[in-house]
Structure 1
Amino acid sequence: MELRQLRYFVAIVDHGSLSRAARVLHIVQPALTQQIQQLEEELGTSLLHRSAQGMQATDAGKIFYEHALAILKQVADAKSAVNQTTDKPSGTVALGIPQSASGALAFPLLSAVRAAFPDIVFQLTEELTGNLTEQLASGRLNLAVLFDDGQLGKFTTKPLVEEEMMFITRADSQFACKRKSITLAKALQVPLILPSIQHGVRPRIEQVVRDQGLRIEHVIDITSIAILKSAILADMGATILPMSPLLPEIERGEMRATPISDVNLSRTVVLCSSKNIPLTNAAMAVEKLVLDLSRDLSLGGKWLGTTSLV
């Protein structure tokens, strides 16, 4: 198996066509086809099939595609690490962030990296927490913002903030609390609109509810934060979340956030990297920037509901 075969295969999947991939790779199509056939013979399985939509990965091909991306990224990182200097880091840095934290951190981070490190190609991806964990473990990501649920032992972790979760409704909701705070038991009597279990925030909520000897009786599972917002604004129920993903609506007065008074319902936001794959100078520079930025956002009151841990 050769690296060029991995590049060829990834290009075909990305472009959905042998002819387009051949043009991008600057090789003739028969040579490309031959290399893929050799790769499939070595692996003992078909990686691609032709459909009405073009060339697509088989089930085995989809698995191999993820591994190929991770391998190619690690090779690129290794080359970059050899050539770059600490005073002017360069290369590609891929960082993943969960949907429920991107509202507070994503745009400030993009702006900060661009200003501080113009030679770094910064790739910021927003994903479900479970997807981020897999991509970080495989090497497709250099860094990931995750939530410490006690299951991050395979990663190097650096705490960023402790983020309080609130009971959040539409401002004029029938479910809104009339007092300045609400108990967890009272909050659970309302139909709850919560992120699905793949989100890092959901297991934390479930754990606290169990620890209090309570149950979530009425819940609407929604994967998308955008759809969750729409459901709250339609007054289908309330949610229990940090303020950051709903901050624009809260600041505009469209939603109301009420503290939960009788339990410590919060999540620890951490920056993670692989214990097995060393960080490049560029990735280390971005890592330090994330730590500094999260501290400044928290202490400056721009990441509401958080306590800095940096």
Structure 2
Amino acid sequence: MNLAAWHYLIRVAEQGSLSNAAAVLGVTQSALSRSVRDMEAELDVPIFHRNGRGVSLTEDGKIVLEAARSVAAIVSDLCSTLEANNGTDTKEITVGLLPSTAKLLAVPLMTKLREDFPGTRMQIVEGSTGHLVEWLTDGRLDLAVTNVSTAIRRFNPEPVVSHNLHLAAARDGPQLGPRIPFRELASYPLVIQSRSHSTRREIDHIAAEQGVRLNIAVEADSLTAISQLVSGGLAYGLIPHFAVDLHTMQSAMVIEPSIERTICLATPVAGARGKGLRHMISCFRTEIRDVYKQFAEQAGDGLGS
């Protein structure tokens, strides 16, 4: 039984629904359900009553919930104590990145680390926003660079830059103009994320509002897979401009309306432990803003902070 399991239990009890709690946490409902079942098996008591309207706590579940809240409070107090006692030396930092942001940020962050924090090791992990939320919850990340979403709100999100999605196509295919109205996307076979992704849900919402029936040829949650299908001329993708490989792709900014996403920095609820880590995160924050600003100036993409 890990800390994430206790955190998941609290959220399910608060939401009264596995599906709502999964959306808030940014994890799949199946993973959340499995976590609750594992906890019930380990404690050998039913924690929730299940019904068609959601879930409610059993009498044993109410006792377990109080214990979960006590564990969360103890961990929070422990983190605060460790933060107060820690010195300024930091030997390791773990940064979580979206696949699209990893392409733009991995080298600048590693360069910054070597220049300003010699002897410090950085671990970079990639994942979707849902994965990054889970890892922040588990305490596996010191810093995450991800999209703003409902699930990320409790992790002290600090907006860095807003950007518009582009329609990406194979470089040697029919030429796209610099911009394309959203309604014209219906003419293109798209490779797009599954509905578990906040970006996909936003795209579907806009399509419904505009009365546009999108041609979803393939669903793929991997940016690598999307890029390969686009580069191979097998489909068109909706991706950030900074994820477009200019050697193999071309792109057009989607407008009327635009599909805007906001990149933010997120940290664990307990905050960074120690002055050294806080200083490092502050430096990384400045570096990340500078990288996006430079990209915007070079690409003329209209990225804004």
- Report the TM-score when normalising by structure 1: 0.66
Aligned residues: 233
Q: Aligned partner of 2:215: which letter?
A: E
**Amino acid paired to 1:307:** L
1:127 is displaced (CA, Å) by 1.2
Structure richer in helix, relative to its length: 2
Q: Tell me the equivalent position of 1:293.
A: 287
What does 1:189-204 correspond to in 2, within 5 Å? 189-204=187-202
8 Å Cα contact 1:166/1:242 also seen in 2: yes
Cα shift at 1:166:
0.8
Aligned counterpart, 1:181: 179
Corresponding residue number in structure 1 for 2:303:
307
Superposed displacement of residue 99, structure 1: 0.9
Shift of 1:44: 7.0
Deviations 1:26-67 (A, max 9, x none): xxxxxxxxxxxxxxxxx679xxxxxxxxxxxxxxxxxxxxxx
Q: 1:79 to 1:261 in 2, by over 3 A?
A: closer
Q: Mapping of 1:34-73 within 5 angstroms?
A: none
What do the CA deviations read for 1:142-197 (whole angstroms, capped 9, x no partner)?
A: 211121124422210111111221111012224x43x3321111113211012334
* Rounded Cα–Cα distance in structure 2 between residues aligned with 1:213 and 1:281: 52
Does residue 99 (structure 1) correspond to residue 102 (structure 2)? The answer is no
State the partner residue of 1:152. Answer: 152
Equivalence for 1:225: 223
**SS of equivalent residue, structure 1 residue 276:** coil
Gaps spanning 5+ residues in structure 1: where?
2-42, 46-70
Cα distance, 1:116–1:199 mapped onto 2, change above 3 Å: farther
Counterparts of 2:226 and 2:219, CA distance in 1: 9
2:229 corresponds to 1:271: no
What CA RMSD, in Å, does the superposition of the two structures yield over aligned residues?
3.0
SS of the residue corresponding to residue 135 of structure 2 reads: helix
What is the identity percentage for the equivalent residue pairs of Structure 1 and Structure 2?
21
Which amino acid is the alignment partner of residue 115 of structure 1? E
Aligned pair in 2 of structure 1 residues 158, 205: CA closer, same or farther (>3 Å)?
A: same
Deviation for aligned residue 1:118:
1.7
Distance 1:194 1:286, change over 3 A: farther
Q: Is the 8 A contact 2:193 2:220 kept in 1?
A: yes
Deviations 1:205-250 (A, max 9, x none): 233323323332323111222222221122111111112222xx21
Q: Tell whether the 8 Å contact from 1:93 to 1:142 is kept in structure 2 after alignment.
A: yes
Greater C-alpha radius of gyration = 1
Mapped contact 1:93–1:282 kept (Cα < 8 A):
no
Are 2:254 and 1:260 aligned? Answer: yes
